[in-house]
């Protein structure tokens, strides 16, 4: 699923239940959760694109291709994997029934060109998910963000609808994606290393593999295998060498509120408390 994927990620993102007989393109596919899930749901032609390379993962530098290649082999999948920038989708010379692009456009320096490229390769339905600016609607606004974060621009929903409409999309469904559920799951699923001393880092969960030493305090533990933990962007460590701690902390009242409220009620509670950020995650389902 990829180490950040929520269980039932497909449903969480409001994707159509079936892809039977449809062609499917995932732009910014990362480890490939959505393409393999689309294959399970009956898609006939499936392509995963990203700025794939053999280096480390990064929000702006690209994604290591090895993860999706291992999964393709594991699933005996027919998914095609192609290193391709969102700006170069026209080079595919192909269109798809369903195009998915999640958490990509806000990192780009040219959102307009990206949306144009997505429109060119989509002949039916575009699923576009990102964090959108919750200000100024119904006036279309594109806000420059680079001065305060790695994100380049934030668009509000009206801006995205305006641009997509200019490229032939006629019908829009805008669905909130409840991010706090995702983050709460990550908090419980991935603890942190609390050890502050240098520890041995192994390339494999095997003491005979190549190794080095590093301080890993406050890094995520993403997996365990036998007597080893895997630490994000670092490597394998022996469980006996590290101490761990949970991520985040909730008061008794906070735990009670989450236990009794539905997702919709909790979202409304956050808004009333003024805790909701100026950026909110939405899935925009646009159809031609």
pLDDT digits (tens, 9 = 90+) for 100-145: 999 999 999 999 999 999 999 999 999 999 999 988 999 999 999 8
pLDDT, tens digit, 9 for 90 and up, residues 246-288: 876 666 777 787 778 886 777 667 656 555 567 888 999 999 9
pLDDT tier, 2 (very low <50, low <70, confident <90, very high otherwise): very low
Look up the pTM and report it.
Answer: 0.78
pLDDT reported for residue 236: 94
Nearest to 23 by CA among 7, 1, 39, 12: 39
Q: 61-79 b/e with 16+ CB inside 10 Å = b?
A: ebbbbebbeebbeeeebeb
- Domains of the chain, start order: 9-178+279-287 (3.40.50.150), 191-245 (2.30.30)
Read off the tokens for 202. 């192994």
Task: Write out pLDDT tens, residues 169-222.
Answer: 999 999 988 765 666 666 777 788 988 899 999 999 999 999 999 999 888 888
CA–CA dist 133, 192 (Å, integer): 31
């Amino acid at each position: 699923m990829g180490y950040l994927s929520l269980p039932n990620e497909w449903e969480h993102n409001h994707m159509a239940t079936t892809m039977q007989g449809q062609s499917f393109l995932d732009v910014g596919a990362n480890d490939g959760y959505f393409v393999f899930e689309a294959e399970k749901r009956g898609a006939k032609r499936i392509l995963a694109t990203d700025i794939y390379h053999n280096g480390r993962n990064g929000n702006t530098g690209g994604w290591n291709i090895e993860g999706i290649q291992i999964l393709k082999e594991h699933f005996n999948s027919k998914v095609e994997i192609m290193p391709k920038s969102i700006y170069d989708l026209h080079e595919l010379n192909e269109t798809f029934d369903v195009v998915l692009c999640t958490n990509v456009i806000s990192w780009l320096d040219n959102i307009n060109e990206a949306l144009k490229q997505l429109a060119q390769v989509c002949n039916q339905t575009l699923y576009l998910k990102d964090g959108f600016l919750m200000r100024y609607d119904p006036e279309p606004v594109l806000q420059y963000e680079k001065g305060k974060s790695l994100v380049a621009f934030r668009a509000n929903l009206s801006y995205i609808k305006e641009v997509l409409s200019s490229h032939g999309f006629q019908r829009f469904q805008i669905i909130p994606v409840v991010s706090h559920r995702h983050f709460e799951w990550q908090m419980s699923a991935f603890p942190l290393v609390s050890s502050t001393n240098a520890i041995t880092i192994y390339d494999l969960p095997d003491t005979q593999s190549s190794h080095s030493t590093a301080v890993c305090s406050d890094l995520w533990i993403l997996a365990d295998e036998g007597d080893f933990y895997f630490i994000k962007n670092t490597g394998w460590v022996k469980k006996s060498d590290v101490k761990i701690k949970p991520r985040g902390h909730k008061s008794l009242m906070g735990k009670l509120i989450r236990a009794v409220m539905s997702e919709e009620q909790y979202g409304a509670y956050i808004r009333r408390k003024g805790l909701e950020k100026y950026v909110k995650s939405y899935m925009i389902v646009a159809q031609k």
